Structure 1
Amino acid sequence: MQRRLMFQSLLPLAGAFLFATSGPALAETVAEQKAEIQKMRSATLARLYKVHPAAKADVQKAAGYAVFSNVGINLILLSAAGGSGVAHDNGSGQDIYMKMVSGGFGIGLGVKDFRGVFVFSTTEKLKQFTESGWEASAQADAAAKAGDKGGAAAGAITVAPGVKLYQLTENGLALQATIQGTKYFKNDDLNGR
């Protein structure tokens, strides 16, 4: 009972934090929100290409990619995260604005700010991600292999067949990505209905 009361009292705090830290949510107009997301995408890709130059060719030759900014908070037993992003179809040049949310339980205290770049090998994988949304409900932690060792693409983490993820933190490219309990879906307000 005491744990439930603590959870209920922390939930509004986590929600308020996520709202306050989501940059595009603070922009007033749809155009301003889109501009903020575009700015985040450009900065994230530039940073990714700087810390992992081979990622540029990976993104360019893919059917499409999606870039997300995620801010999370962990308050004792509750963790929550939210963010926004944009998926890009390399074939058509179309941008699809998206949102992401996640939550869970875990012991800890702190804030995690990271950027994620998903790379889709086929148009079908990109379309599935943008049209149906995507939920990483199972444990989706994976470790990247350094250099050419192990035959894996260095820095990229396979999170589903045909879908790779580059995750950037303050310190550079993450060697492990955690997307468990995260849902990605279209932002109807920015795409139009």
Structure 2
Amino acid sequence: MKLMTTVLGLIVLLLGCATGSSPEEKKANANKETAAALQNIYQEHAEARRAVSASLGYLVCTGNDNYLFAASTGGGVCTLRSKGVVEYYRFATLGAGLGLGFKKVAFLYTFHDAKAMKRFREEGWDAGARAEASARYEEDGGQVAANTSYDVGGVKVFQVALWGAAAQATVQGYKFWATDFTSDVM
């Protein structure tokens, strides 16, 4: 478990967002990046705005996914907003399957069940299977199954590809952990 956390941490150091020279700058950049990501999600998923309004809290993440043959990695930054409070998270992803490519992604988790939100805060794990092909450069490019949404266990999830190109069929796990950015290198 400790090795897995170390590997995931290294991935985030290499690929993570929310740069800055102080925790305050990193928080400001995380807020800016996730606010922009949320607007992209709203544009692609009409029901996302309603899901946020009806939720107990919502997590917005932005980061990178990399696919190289049998492995996939990625990481980024998230903000969790609930009852007027903002919490900051990092995430890392590791997967297995077939794939090739790189893309910047954004995703939204809306929590509609208090137990689901508590489980997220305490455990910080999510896993899923994915098969998709996507290509996007700024506003150009098409996507097939890259903009997905699903509802499981009191959590609605929405995802969009912001840019990049990838084709993959993978099983991926996500690890989230709270941060105040004081010990982040990025």
TM score, norm. by length of structure 1: 0.68
User: Do the aligned partners of 1:69 and 1:115 also contact (CA within 8 Å) in 2?
Assistant: yes
Q: Mark the CA change 1:106 to 1:124 in structure 2 (over 3 Å): closer, same or farther.
A: closer
User: Do the aligned partners of 2:74 and 2:92 also contact (CA within 8 Å) in 1?
Assistant: yes
Structure 1 position 52, deviation (Å): 2.5
The structure carrying a bigger helix percent of its residues is: 1
Secondary structure of 2:40's counterpart equals: helix
Larger RCO, structures 1/2 (Cα 8 Å, 6+ apart): 2
- The reply on whether 1:77 has 2:70 as its aligned counterpart is yes
Looking at structure 1, the residues matched to 81 and 103 of structure 2 have their Cα atoms a distance apart, in angstroms, of 25
Structure 1 position 140, deviation (Å): 4.4
Larger Rg: 1
User: Do the aligned partners of 1:34 and 1:190 also contact (CA within 8 Å) in 2?
Assistant: no
Aligned match for 1:125, one of 116, 131, 137: 116
Q: 1:3 aligns to what?
A: none
User: Do the aligned partners of 1:98 and 1:185 also contact (CA within 8 Å) in 2?
Assistant: yes
User: Do the aligned partners of 1:65 and 1:88 also contact (CA within 8 Å) in 2?
Assistant: yes
Secondary structure of 1:28's counterpart equals: coil
Q: 1:105 aligns to what?
A: 96
More divergent stretch after superposition (76-85 vs 32-41): 76-85
Secondary structure of 1:127's counterpart equals: helix
For the aligned residues, what is the CA RMSD? 3.0
Question: Deviations along 1:118-152, whole A, 9 cap, x unmatched?
Answer: 0100233223212x132124x44599xxxxxxxxx
The structure carrying a bigger strand percent of its residues is: 2
Looking at structure 1, the residues matched to 96 and 129 of structure 2 have their Cα atoms a distance apart, in angstroms, of 16
Secondary structure of 2:25's counterpart equals: helix
Q: Mark the CA change 1:121 to 1:142 in structure 2 (over 3 Å): closer, same or farther.
A: farther
- The reply on whether 1:35 has 2:35 as its aligned counterpart is no
Give the number of aligned pairs. 156
Q: 2:126 aligns to what?
A: 136
Alignment gaps of 5+ in structure 1: 1-11, 144-154, 172-177
Question: Deviations along 1:4-37, whole A, 9 cap, x unmatched?
Answer: xxxxxxxx9xx57x5344221x311101111111
Structure 1 position 104, deviation (Å): 2.7
Looking at structure 2, the residues matched to 104 and 156 of structure 1 have their Cα atoms a distance apart, in angstroms, of 19
Looking at structure 2, the residues matched to 40 and 87 of structure 1 have their Cα atoms a distance apart, in angstroms, of 13
Alignment gaps of 5+ in structure 2: 1-6, 133-147, 164-169
Q: 1:168 aligns to what?
A: 160
Secondary structure of 2:84's counterpart equals: coil
Looking at structure 2, the residues matched to 79 and 140 of structure 1 have their Cα atoms a distance apart, in angstroms, of 12
User: Do the aligned partners of 2:20 and 2:26 also contact (CA within 8 Å) in 1?
Assistant: yes
